[in-house]
Amino acid sequence: MASPIKVISFDLDDTLWPCRPTILRAEQILYDWLGEHVPEITGRYDITMLRDKRRELFSMQPELQHDLSRLRIRSFELLADEFGLGRNWIRPAFDVFYAARQQVNLYDDVAPVLDALSKDFHLVSLTNGNASTVETGVDHWFTLALNSATVGKLKSEPDIYRQVMTRLDVGAEAMLHIGDDPLHDIVGAQKAGIRAIWLNREDKSWPLDDAVPDATIRSLHEIGRRLAEM
């Protein structure tokens, strides 16, 4: 029997590539740039202190949590105000970070699996982050790319998944989501009535008591078997 699945959506960070080393490298490049162009900031704050300040902003302004680009720019604006600086450095600083943030190293299973799946399914990328499928070089696999900043809600809510269904004219039963985050990928998709596979590359324990994934995999190579089971 043919699979009823027509659309498979994928998270990006920590699903297609490791997120933490990507961001840490981008932040170091940014910090070096700040040291050259606005040394007042780096003279007072080391890179860890700046990261802590941004995390504090994240917790204090939940309305920005779905838009990490705006959050980072807002952190620059607050630094400019703190040091009595102009703001002409803010956009160049963000552009330096953004360009470095797009330099990703795909997990080994990504290319062969997405090459195969894209022949039979519409593939979609969904992210809470500000990775660009074009800039990271993965756009050729995807029919559609959405992020939480555009949608206005985090992936822990069903809105982004419902937009996929509307745009591609499919029902929840014809869609499958795959990602690494229990809340944002599994719970969010299931709120929209979509089956969700937890990609658990590091063999972690499932952390939630009130939800379970429809399936768990350690590698994207297992998707074919899971699709057959469905």
Which pLDDT tens digit goes with each residue over 4-63? Answer: 999 999 999 999 999 999 999 999 999 999 999 999 999 999 999 999 999 999 999 999
Same domain, 119 and 24: no
Among 59, 75, 60, 67, which Cα is nearest to 27's? 75
- Domain with 173, as residue range(s), is 7-17+106-229
pLDDT tier for residue 188 given thresholds of 50, 70 and 90: very high
Task: Choose one of 41, 72, 101: the last residue of a domain.
Answer: 101
Residues 201 and 132 in one domain: yes
Q: Give the Cα separation of 179 and 199 in Å (integer).
A: 5
Verify that 192 and 225 share a domain, yes or no: yes
Is 1 inside any structural domain?
no
Last residue of a domain, one of 101, 132, 166: 101
Q: What is the CATH number of the domain that holds 203?
A: 3.40.50.1000
Residue 73's CATH number: 1.20.120.1600
What distance separates the 2 farthest-apart alpha carbons in the chain?
67
Q: Into how many domains does the chain fold?
A: 2
Same domain, 12 and 111: yes
Residues 87 and 130 placed together within one structural domain of the fold: no
pTM, whole model, 2 decimals?
A: 0.94
pLDDT for 229 equals: 87
Q: Which of 101, 136, 168 is the last residue of a domain?
A: 101
Do 11 and 118 share a structural domain? yes
> Does 68 share its domain with 145?
no
Q: Which of 104, 99, 133, 128 is nearest to 30 (CA)?
A: 99
**118 and 26 belong to one structural domain:** no
Task: Give mean pLDDT, residues 212-220.
Answer: 98
